[in-house]
Structure 1
């Protein structure tokens, strides 16, 4: 089995000699740091994933669920809202972490099998992020503004364009050509935002700008005389509860929240939302044909590929390709929301594995590795329709957040084969579990690391996840969505080793055996 590539980089190697020489000069001028120490920090070749680190976390697997240190006795419940208070599990709150392990406030060691709700692909205290500390020590500031986007942010934008278009690192001329392209479906614009919610919102606003002016200085929109209709993935009752594209009001109306407000918007002809059946092209085409003629116009199709908010169901490649062709033929933009799937697949973008050509790609969570909240909208020349104030966020241009992106991307790019192999391995092990317990498990859903286990019975998935949680293995049950099969959701980090995956699967096997014997 392929070994993980450690990767070594200094700030000079990652960010470039000319830029770092300027940083060093500025550090000497502004701070009490001598030239020798500044050069050392800039030249410090950090090993991203040393063998000793991997051995340490693998060795600690046997301690999962045990009491490593005494439980913290400080009483501090904060000041949460009622909903957050009800959901809180402060015993599992982090005192520290190492790789795919977390030390809870109860002093026990936890196995991070959902990547801390999907935003730590490199686990806790990833050694490569030492470069962020080196950058801080050299005085590289984090806060910038939209008009003063820093060098690291600009470098990241170029790297995102390179990787989202599948261009090799040495093909700089190809990147230059992509950056000036005005062709459809060529992703060459990056909008730096703070969270995935804001990136999705920006994409929705860009699609709406073809129907409504942002302000009165804008020209008449292309479809100003039509009612925009957005297509989203439906739940199994035909409603919108399956899709999730952030927590702004418009995005929430797309998943059946704020129903009374949405009904008034729809009745007034402001916009409509049309849920379409999962992996059912005929249903999509029927509804598309209905709403792509006056007084309506198909305004956009918004989708994930792995629906981690609806049981981890996977949209099929054939379905998406047919939908994309229909939308492209009818001037309907497509937004591929990769907040859940980005970074967990070779090449970092799952849409590329599918061979898709969206107008918008939304990324975040996985890219900054849990170090910062930083998302990005990547779009095309044609869809670049808002002015600066139409979609900005003040702290979207953070330099150290961009550095976290570059570090994570470098490790993932060098480990593409490892990520693929471990994804296949993990999915295969889950399918073996399903075959061993056919009376409990209906099927395995998702793809690779983003996998879910569909149970036949709600009680069984609740028992399964509770026992694992009680033993400090982080897995959750999804049983509250409309007609969604009761599912146990998992998402091991991309640094997961064979030892970690084997340990996790073994623990699941033990619990399934227990449930089976008691049935």
Structure 2
């Protein structure tokens, strides 16, 4: 266990991230378009920002003891907005943010909250990460955020290359190998990026590229390779044999992959338009059996879509050997694979969990973690072979935002420099959680997930709900998942990658107290029942 790793100091300027030729041009423009002089603009572009100063981390750790306490007066009057009924029922405006620092959020009720699931998985660097000050510098220099698809800015284009470099595991100085990757026409070589806004749109882009092998995007396209055959999408199934375990976005097509719109999906399948085939979790024999069934006329397996850590199904982890076997079968039979890393990207050394698994997907979907909650900005990384749609087949007008790309580059720089730290803290947290589970075997069945993305499986749904409720009373934000088809009731956690050992120990200690209280309550109920 690498608990002795230390977080590296990271300092960068806009010039250091984006290059002097670009920032010199920006500075020249700023002298004309803003109130800055050329000298002031160049100085600002060259000003280094420390991404996570010791004083910032120390202050965050000192504030830990204030979690759950009202540290400012409660905000009494606040608008209720105009939500839908579903959002109104789920709202908890007392915890809505007035501010935050690192892994802490200040709620409207004046209390301090611990973000134990990174604000639903999109703030790996927590709140008000100091490195994002470079975004403020960019705004002062007049760097515009809004561009269009045909005028993708320098930061966006630079980010595309960085995504290809890191997705292929290349060192920053390995320029020649990167060029070879970018020029490659070989299958399964990731060297294309489509910039989108949300994970849903990125996943749908991949699904559309799979569909383009069966149906023409428009009348100008030639007959597809598998025209006339019914595309069958393989997705991770739930424990009841259905498809509720997978999650690849909220578009209609993606929702049909997980048992939604069943009447419409049934008609589509009956008409031979497309079919969804759920496969059993970590069961290669089931995968192979269904593949052999549906990879022959009138069907064709159109693609295999999967997460690695299924945070929408208890945090179950797909096993490395299982995925490697499934990939080999798909690759031998011309079936593209989409690895959805929306949940897992940025929480592991190297930023991409598929690389740690030794996988070679045809599509990688990323988002949430990369822009650090600063912007909605997702990407799909794919290959020359899958680059089959025209410009309007998968784009969104404002997917090319320059400051969003800058947020990516800042996050990636910090994560790449601190890969060892991220891995060590992930290992530490996972081991502490396993030790916690072993101390409460009557309540917790087992742990799941990997590293920061770790979950607790409970013997009963009411125990998971009680656990999350008790932590919620202490302003520790985790989720209880108790409604999925035949999935063990789970408590989902995902601390930010800036989480210190002190923060993780604090979180584990509060979990232990909650579990002890639940156990004592159950024992008291048992004694009452025997009277």
Shorter-chain-normalised TM-score: which range?
over 0.9
2:37 to 34, 38, 54: 34
> Is it true that 1:297 corresponds to 2:300 in the alignment?
yes
Q: Distance in 1 between matches of 2:201 and 2:261?
A: 19
Residues 190-213 of structure 1 show CA distances to partners (whole Å, capped at 9, x for unaligned) of: 000000000000000000000000
Match among 137, 156, 161 for residue 158 of structure 1 = 161
Which of residues 409, 413, 418 in structure 1 aligns to 2:412? 409
Alignment of 1:163-242 (within 5 A): 163-242=166-245
| Distance (whole Å) between structure 2 residues aligned to residue 104 and residue 75 of structure 1 | 12
Secondary structure of 2:399's partner? Answer: helix
Q: Partner residue of 2:529?
A: none
CA–CA separation in structure 2 for the residues paired with 1:30 and 1:73: 43
Which residue pairs with 1:282 in the alignment?
285
Secondary structure of 2:24's aligned partner: helix
Q: Which residue of structure 2 lines up, in the alignment, with residue 14 of structure 1?
A: 17
- Whole-angstrom distance in 2 between the partners of 1:89 and 1:149: 39
Deviation at residue 131 of structure 1 after TM alignment: 0.2
Structure 2: 5+ residue stretches without partners: 523-531
Query: Which of these residues, 420, 431, 434, is aligned with residue 437 of structure 2?
Result: 434
Q: What is the Cα deviation at residue 518 of structure 1?
A: 2.0
| Secondary structure of 1:102's aligned partner | strand
SS of 1:481's partner is: coil
What is the match of residue 147 of structure 1?
Answer: 150
The TM-score normalised by the length of structure 1 is 1.00
Q: How far is the alpha carbon of 1:30 from its aligned partner?
A: 1.4
Q: C-alpha distance in 2, partners of 1:75/1:472?
A: 20
Q: Does 1:74 align with 2:77?
A: yes
Query: Match for residue 319 of structure 2?
Result: 316
Q: Map 1:362-441; keep pairs closer than 5 Å.
A: 362-441=365-444
- 2:480 corresponding residue in structure 1: 477
Q: What residue in structure 1 maps to residue 122 of structure 2?
A: 119
* Counterpart position of 2:6: 3
Counterparts of 2:265 and 2:462 in 1: how far apart (Å)? Answer: 35
- Partner of 1:394, secondary structure, is coil
SS in structure 1 opposite 2:61? helix
Secondary structure of residue in 2 paired with 1:297:
strand
Give deviations 1:108-149, integer Å, cap 9, x for gaps: 000011000000000000000000000000000000000000
* CA-CA distance at 1:173 after TM superposition: 1.0
- 1:449 is aligned, of 443, 449, 452, to 452
- Give the SS at the match of 1:495: coil
State the 1:462 CA deviation: 0.9
Give the corresponding residue for 1:95.
98
Q: Secondary structure at the residue paired with 1:288?
A: helix
CA distance in 2 between partners of 1:389 and 1:35 (Å): 39
Report the alpha carbon displacement of residue 352 of structure 1 after superposing the two structures with TM.
Answer: 0.3
Write the deviation string for residues 238-279 of structure 1: whole angstroms up to 9, x where unpaired.
101000000000100000000000001111110000000000
Q: Aligned-pair distance for 1:6?
A: 2.4
List 4+ stretches of structure 1 deviating above 2 A.
none
In the TM superposition, residue 458 of structure 1 has moved relative to its aligned partner by 1.1
Unaligned runs of 5+ in 1: none
Whole-Å separation in 1 of the counterparts to 2:277 and 2:368: 27
The aligned residue for residue 491 of structure 1 is 494
Question: Equivalents in 2 of 1:6, 1:112: separation in Å?
Answer: 23
Alpha-carbon offset, residue 3 of structure 1: 1.4
Q: Which residue of 1 aligns with 2:526?
A: none
**Separation in 1 of the partners of 2:42 and 2:19?**
13
CA deviation after TM superposition for structure 1 residue 36, in Å: 2.5
Per-residue CA shift, 1:395-441, capped at 9, x if unaligned?
Answer: 00000000000000000000000000000000000000011111111
Q: Secondary structure at the match of 1:103?
A: strand
Could you say what secondary structure the match of 1:378 adopts? strand
Counterparts of 1:430 and 1:279, CA distance in 2: 23
Using the size of structure 2 for normalisation, the TM-score is 0.97
In structure 2, which of residues 327, 336, 348 is the aligned counterpart of residue 333 of structure 1?
336
Partner of 2:133, secondary structure, is: helix
Q: Which residue is 1:54 aligned to?
A: 57
Equivalent residues, number: 519
